[in-house]
Copies of this chain bind each other. A is one copy, B any other.
């Protein structure tokens, strides 16, 4: 167990908080609720960004950038949006500081009050649809498939690194279409992009589903989501894709001339994932020794630690190891040779385990003589000797195996903690013991949903897509239901 890292069983929440800091992923800042993403954490986020960005471009999207600030009046234009969204936010009221007339430092210049307050964007639908009004005249201007990478601010009261912070980084796609069908197809396509990213790269199995009206994005007609299960049995919403209907087009008067030369309101979608994915990644796979990173997102995929007694030995080992480093780099494996001679091997083992490097190679003088290398894989914590010949191909294959194994382990956990439940008593028992995804019948009423939440803290995570129709009775009201939904306690 890594020093200072509580075990998951001991205190899951403390384990997470300590891990994020000990593994150098992120830290709290001097500004309430805002985090600092440290270089090692940012390197993972950059990998996520690059892969997602390529996936967005492969599906025909382009990037653009819209202002950080939103005029206050814009937020009130879409009625549900302002109700659900705009309340807890950072508000800019002035544009100048002046020297404090009563002493040192600076104070706000009362003369520099803005005519209209500006809101630091909590999301950009309003400013973007205000812009789209200028960009869209005819069906020839559609579809408009735009994504933005940006920072956003929501003044959260209780914050946790990556999971819920006042400022966070994200991407937000905002597309405009000529028909409802096209917009719905886009919403579903982007949900599938997110699900593919989660499963293939994050090695995190997810459930694709639709939110209940209660949990919908403010201003959306339908909110699609992917939901993942963390090791403590709690759910985490990992991405959302919204079909916005014509709500924002109507609020901002965005019409187009269709091929029949008739004026219509434009159809919209928006979709986003954020640095919250970092929290999901950490909590999905890591263990009591530290991070476990899937190779496809690991900033360092292989670390090589030399084992030696005298410094002369290190020189000989380095001569042996450096060509190996080059060979690994040549096949695009990111490798770190840790030849720091102020740290002992044991210290390094613990450190790189904490940081979740998928493969460690340990090499001592006797290994060189024996033409062997010690391989350690982080996901299973196993180690063994392999012949030094063909080590590059061996490592390449092992990285693929680790990626698959991490996914399989998470998938088995998801399956193990997915429960089909028909009584409210059993429902409550599961929540109080293992947690997990509970597939149960629900009568479709928001009141029932609210009552269950009140009594158990469990919410409907989603109505899963492609789930079979099935006659049943609501676990809470006993009223008829035709489909199971997924309940869980959630982050």
Residues on A facing B (Cβ under 8 Å): 27, 29-31, 34-39, 42-43, 45-46, 62-76, 82, 86-98, 104-106, 108, 117-120, 127, 130-131, 134, 140, 146, 150-151, 153, 155, 167, 169, 342
Report whether B93 and A94 are in contact in the complex, using a CB–CB cutoff of 8 Å: yes
How far is A153 from B95 in the complex, measured between Cα atoms in Å? 10
Not counting A39-B63, A91-B93, A92-B93, a sample of 17 additional A-B residue pairs whose C-beta atoms are within 8 angstroms of each other reads A30-B71, A30-B131, A31-B118, A35-B67, A36-B131, A42-B64, A65-B169, A68-B120, A68-B151, A68-B153, A76-B104, A87-B96, A89-B95, A90-B95, A91-B94, A92-B92, A96-B155
CA of A178 to CA of B354 in the docked complex: distance in angstroms?
28
* Sample of 20 A–B contacts (CB below 8 Å): A29-B66, A30-B71, A31-B118, A36-B67, A37-B65, A38-B64, A39-B64, A67-B167, A68-B167, A73-B105, A75-B97, A76-B105, A82-B106, A88-B96, A90-B118, A91-B108, A92-B120, A93-B93, A96-B155, A120-B120
Instruction: List chain B residues, Cβ under 8 A from A82.
Output: 106
> By the criterion CB–CB under 8 Å, are B91 and A167 in contact?
no
**Min C-beta distance of A345 to chain B, whole Å:** 18
Cβ–Cβ < 8 Å partners of A37 in chain B? 64-65
Is there an interface contact between B29 and A131, defined as CB atoms closer than 8 Å? yes
Q: Is the CB of A67 within 8 A of B31?
A: yes
Chain B residue with the shortest CB-CB distance to A72: B106
Report the minimal beta-carbon distance from A100 to chain B, rounded to whole angstroms: 9
State the CA gap A82–B98 with chains docked (Å).
10
The interface residues of chain B lying within 8 Å CB-to-CB of A38 are: 64
Q: Which residues of B contact A97 (CB under 8 A)?
A: 72, 75, 86-87, 89, 91, 119
Contacting A90 at CB < 8 Å: which of B45, B65, B69, B76?
B69
The distance from the CB of A340 to the nearest CB of chain B, in whole angstroms, is: 9
Of all A-B residue pairs in the complex, the 8 with the closest CB atoms, nearest first, are A34-B67, A39-B62, A37-B65, A76-B105, A95-B155, A91-B94, A93-B93, A90-B92
Q: Which residues in B have their C-beta under 8 angstroms from that of A105?
A: 72-73, 76
The CA of A70 and the CA of B31, in the complex, are separated in Å by 7
Q: A106-B86, A140-B342 are in contact. Are A62 and B75 (CB under 8 A)?
A: no
| Contact of A91 (CB < 8 Å), options: B30, B75, B88, B92 | B92
Which of A65, A75, A140 neighbours the largest number of chain B CB atoms within 10 Å of its CB? A65
Contacts of A31 in B (CB 8 A): 67, 69-71, 118, 127
Beta-carbon contact of B106 and A95 below 8 Å? no
- The answer to whether B91 touches A65, judged by C-beta atoms less than 8 angstroms apart, is no
Instruction: Please report the C-alpha to C-alpha distance between residue A134 and residue B29 in the assembled complex, in whole angstroms.
Output: 11
Measured CA separation A30–B127 after assembly (Å): 8
The closest CB in chain B to the CB of A79 belongs to: B104
Which residues from B are CB-within-8-Å of A62? 39, 42-43
**Selected contact of A63 from candidates B42, B70, B140, B155, CB within 8 Å:** B42
B-chain residues with CB within 8 Å of residue A45 when the two chains form the complex = 65
Residues of B within 8 A of A72 (CB): 97, 105-106, 108
Q: How far is the CA of A77 from the CA of B73 in the complex (A)?
A: 36
Q: What residues on B are CB-neighbors of A66 within 8 Å?
A: 29, 36
Residues in B with CB closer than 8 Å to A29 are: 66-67, 127, 131
Across the two chains, which residue of chain B brings its CB closest to A145?
B39
Chain B nearest CB from A185 CB (Å) reads 21
Closest B residue to A70 by beta carbon equals: B31
CA of A146 to CA of B43, assembled, Å: 12
Contacts of A146 in B (CB 8 A): 39
Determine whether the beta carbon of B96 is less than 8 Å from that of A89: yes
Q: Is the CB of A34 within 8 A of B74?
A: no
- Complexed CA–CA distance, A97 and B326 (Å): 57
State the CA gap A96–B122 with chains docked (Å). 12
Is the Cβ of B65 less than 8 Å from the Cβ of A42?
Answer: yes
| Residues of B with C-beta under 8 A to A68 | 34, 120, 151, 153, 167
**Which of B76, B93, B96, B130 is within 8 Å of A30, CB to CB?**
B130
Bound: A37/B35 CA distance, A: 27
- Which residue of chain B has the shortest Cβ distance to A88 in the bound complex? B96
The residue on B at minimum CB distance from A74 is: B30
CB distance from A379 to the nearest CB of B (A): 25
